[in-house]
Amino acid sequence: MIDLSLIPVAWLYGFAAVFGLICGSFFNVVIGRLPKMMELAWQRECAHSQGAQVSASPAYNLAVPASHCPHCNTPVSMRDNIPLLSFLLLKGKCRHCQVPISLRYPLIELASAVLIVGVFAAFGFTLTALAYTLLLWILLILSAIDIDHMLLPDQLTLPLLWLGLLGAVTVLPVSPTAAIIGAVAGYLFLWSLYWLFKLLTGKEGLGYGDFKLLAALGAWLGWQLLPLIILLASATGAVIGIGMMVLGKKGQGSPIPFGPFLALGGVLALFIGEQLYQWYWQWAGIL
């Protein structure tokens, strides 16, 4: 087993950053393809339920087809598929058709690297830090998919929930009791809010994916941080929503994905949740 104490800290952070960039490149594939894979699966299920013959279609998954430019369909070569570096060398354009490459690709790669480095800086080079890295990476993927498709796939939210409960009995600094209560309370809070809003307005204000995501955050972080996550998510969502309406990006009543705000609330609660609670208690004169 490798003794990490013998490796210079700067090297460890460098390795973590490079690994984060590489994983971020894969996350872009998941973000781009998982919703399409789900759509194709739904279409096949609908056709099968109606007794229609399902024709064989080309394979489409996370590995097939190979990466290609969405505009000219030219396969992306290895030299043009180096995380972040290729985007910079290509000046943000496809080598063949010169159509601009979406900024989302380098931003996801960079965010992936920043998250893993940030977790190791906060929690050390431990199994707990690795677990939190997995949490933040899945939150990153979910946020991007929700922004693009207003969708939080069960394929990610449910495993995230179970991993949080499993982590509570292994490597996470959260008791199993706090994790279980957090999962139940997180789900029931948004579920109750959903039905209250629907009864009052006849409209759906939240999606079931939001319930499952908050349940997962409750499992990972414990019920104690749920009020802070909800407060941070609601506050940032309100500020950004109002800002988008003022700028004309969204009309009144237009849906805005709530998943990214829940994820942001979870990230902030993970890193500075205890400090925020202490600051509030001191400000309130309780401590």
Per-residue model confidence as pLDDT tens digits over 81-90:
899 999 999 8
Between 253 and 228, whose confidence is greater? Answer: 228
User: Do 3 and 61 fall into the same domain?
Assistant: yes
Taking residue 5's Cβ as centre, other Cβ atoms within 10 Å add up to 7
Domain boundary (125, 145, 171) is at 125
- What is the average per-residue pLDDT within 133-156? 96
Domain shared by 220 and 273, yes or no: yes
Q: 168 falls in which pLDDT band (50, 70, 90)? A: very high
The answer on 205 and 87 residing in a single domain is: no
Q: For all residues of the chain together, what is the average pLDDT?
A: 90
Does residue 265 register a pLDDT over 90? yes
Q: Which residues contact 260 (CB under 8 A, 6 or more apart)?
A: 143, 146, 147
**Does residue 187 sit in the same domain as residue 173?**
yes
> Could you tell me if 233 and 264 are in contact, meaning their C-beta atoms sit under 8 angstroms apart?
yes
Q: By mean pLDDT, which of 4-18, 161-175, 186-200 is the weakest?
A: 4-18
Comparing 1 with 128, the larger pLDDT belongs to 128
CA dihedral 126, 130, 135, 139 (to 10 degrees): 120
Distance of alpha carbon 100 from the chain centroid: 25
The domain containing residue 222 runs over which residues? Answer: 131-287
User: Domains in the chain: how many in total?
Assistant: 2
Among the residue ranges 22-36, 39-53, 190-204, the one predicted with the least confidence is 39-53
Mean per-residue pLDDT, 139-166: 97
> Do 100 and 175 fall within a single domain?
no
Q: 272 and 165 in one domain?
A: yes
Task: Kindly state whether residues 15 and 89 are assigned to the same domain.
Answer: yes
In the predicted model, is pLDDT for residue 278 greater than 90? no
What was the pLDDT predicted at 286? 65
Residue of 3 and 141 predicted with greater confidence: 141
Q: Name the band, by pLDDT with cuts 50, 70 and 90, for residue 281.
A: confident
Of 97, 125, 153, which closes a domain?
125
Q: What percent of the chain has pLDDT over 90?
A: 62
Are residues 121 and 136 both part of a single domain?
no
Does residue 182 contact residue 234 with C-beta atoms inside 8 Å? no
- The confidence score (pLDDT) of residue 52 equals 72
The length of the chain is 287
**pLDDT at position 1, please?**
57
For 267-273, the CB contacts below 8 A with 24+ separation are 267/136, 267/139, 268/228, 268/232, 269/217, 269/221, 269/225, 269/228, 269/229, 269/232, 270/132, 270/135, 270/136, 270/221, 271/118, 271/122, 273/221, 273/225, 273/228
How does DSSP classify residue 7?
A: S
Residue 31: band (very low, low, confident or very high) from pLDDT cuts 50, 70, 90: very high
Question: Virtual CA dihedral for 86, 91, 97, 101, nearest 10 degrees?
Answer: 70
Same domain, yes or no: 138 and 25: no
Q: Which residue has tokens 């929700």? A: 146
What pLDDT is stored for residue 54 in this prediction?
64
**Residue (of 202, 266, 258) closest to 232 by Cα position:** 266
For residues 252 and 226, the model is more confident at: 226
Number of Cβ within 10 Å of residue 208's Cβ equals: 15
CB 180 within 8 A of CB 167: no
Q: How far apart are CA 125 and CA 34, in angstroms?
A: 31
Q: State yes or no: pLDDT of 252 exceeds 70.
A: no
Domain match, 56 and 173 both: no
Which of 45, 63, 66 lies closest to 54 in space, CA to CA? 45
Asked if 8 and 119 sit in the same domain, the reply is yes
As to burial, measured by CB atoms within 10 angstroms (0-12 exposed, 13-18 middle, 19+ buried), residue 271 is middle
pLDDT band at 227 (very low <50, low <70, confident <90, very high): very high
Query: Do 212 and 234 lie in a common domain?
Result: yes
Lowest mean pLDDT among 46-60, 190-204, 219-233: 46-60
Residue 93 predicted with pLDDT over 80? yes
Taking phi over 0 as left and psi of -120 to 50 as alpha, with beta for the rest, 91 belongs to: left
